[in-house]
Homo-oligomer: A and B are copies of this chain.
Amino acid sequence: MSASENYLKQHKDRFLAELVEFLRIPSISSLSEHAADVGRAGEWVADRLRAAGMEEVCLLPSGGSPVVYGEWLHAPGRPTVLLYGHFDTQPVDPVDLWTDPPFEPVVRDGRVYARGASDDKGNMLIPILALESMLETEGVLPVNVKVFFEGEEEIGSPHLSSVIEQNRARLACDLVVSADGFQGDEDQPVLLLGFKGLCAVQIDVEGFRADLHSGVYGGTVQNPIHALARLLDSMRSAEGKVLVEGFYEDVVTPTPEERSQIAAVPFDEAAYREQLGVGELFGEPGYTTRERAWVRPTLEINGIWGGFQGEGVKTVTPKEAHAKITCRLVADQDPEKILQQLTSHIRRNAPPGVKVEVHPESATARPYFVPPDHPGNRAADAVLEEIYGRSPHHTRMGGTLPVCALLLDLLDVHTVTFAFGLDDENAHAPDEFFRLGSFERGQEAYRKLLKRLAQQDGLRG
């Protein structure tokens, strides 16, 4: 056993305690009342990087929540690797569906339960611990390392492009490795080749000056909820095809070869249904479930509200109704163009008798794809095969990682995702958890990856 591998084992309990401490910070980026907590999580990360031995640790101002930067650049002639992750979390509602309070981490049955445990604090802490193990035992790292951890991933990284633009030289590197991503399951590794893009809108339907008595006024005025329901229904066919005009126009249809590669990745539909608790799956006709999740764009309603939500009956025709929508995009859809199409569709289909407003959210992301034979992927492939004893499936993901497309656009550098969460860990949902087995395996994997990248052909441009 190498000294750094041994270090990781010896400090296992401390690392878990540190993760629990990190998870206690309610760093919800979408809620302004938690802005200070997001800042606090960033400070925690900066302190932890310094303790690990990273240098030049600082906060890069973004206009929103700052990015935590650090570096270790004492490997001349070796590649420079930028490590990415995020320390912000999703909101916690519906909070009553959590077994324990979301920011009071509980360790149970080899898992740590808390908001952010899997997405992404647990995964983000992993490379820091791997760096520490090598710096503490060997005094050096096998490659030059920069870290770049953000606090706005869960709101679509609205300030990331300006931070990257303002720090081009500082962030220059040969490869990005993302600690945000997924694995297949506990036995089967995956290498993620693509992420979906994102855009989002809020629809506000305004009816009247005040809520109305549904008996006195009902039937004489447009009901804002009914208008909103009609508008939402107009966006999707009964079978699940998006009906927004032009929506599929720029979608790159998967080739027969890509489709057969996707079909080669095992998919247990019964287990998937069982995991989610649904009786049947549903989605755009003409594509498999995997294809819908990985290579087809989607339009999802994330929330809706209006009128009376309490117990019993309130005979009211409500003054207004609201909905939130996000679209997940695939190559070569452009989020700005989709936002325009969505806005036009909503304007064209706005029912009479109400005012309908569309508010695009600042969160947008371009879709991303990295070739499977990229040198970073070849190194990650090899390490995953060594750790799991199986070669990874090459997959894509319906999730969005805006940083990948941004770094490719702005710094001309590809991102390899190297993360250890599994898709049953309730990311974005109540009772999120992270497996402690993944936490430890990930530390060892990062140690091996950095060593392998030091010798990887084709990495230095």
Asked whether any CB of chain B lies closer than 8 Å to the CB of A280, the reply is: yes
B94 A211 Cβ-Cβ under 8 A: yes
Main secondary structure of the interface of A (DSSP, over half): loop
The residues of B that contact A97 with a CB separation of less than 8 Å are 210-211
Partner of A310 from the list B31, B280, B423, B428 (CB cut-off 8 Å) is B31
Q: Which residues of A contact B (CB under 8 A)?
A: 30-32, 90-91, 93-94, 97, 154-156, 182, 196, 198, 200, 207-223, 225-226, 228-230, 232-233, 236, 238, 240, 272, 275-284, 289, 292-293, 296-298, 300-318, 321-324, 326, 328, 351-355, 361, 363, 397-400, 423, 426-431
A429 B399 Cβ-Cβ under 8 A: no
A303 B292 Cβ-Cβ under 8 A: no
Q: How far is the CA of A430 from the CA of B209 in the complex (A)?
A: 10
Partner of A30 from the list B218, B282, B312 (CB cut-off 8 Å) is B312
A317 B300 Cβ-Cβ under 8 A: yes
Most buried by B among A200, A229, A354: A229
A222 B428 Cβ-Cβ under 8 A: no
A-B contact pairs, 5 of them (CB 8 A): A90-B315, A207-B278, A214-B326, A219-B283, A315-B326
The residues of B that contact A278 with a CB separation of less than 8 Å are 207-208, 221-222, 353-354
Q: How far is the CA of A205 from the CA of B202 in the complex (A)?
A: 22
Q: How far is the CA of A309 from the CA of B430 in the complex (A)?
A: 16
A93 B308 Cβ-Cβ under 8 A: yes
A298-B218 contact in complex given A31-B311, A229-B233, C-beta closer than 8 Å: yes
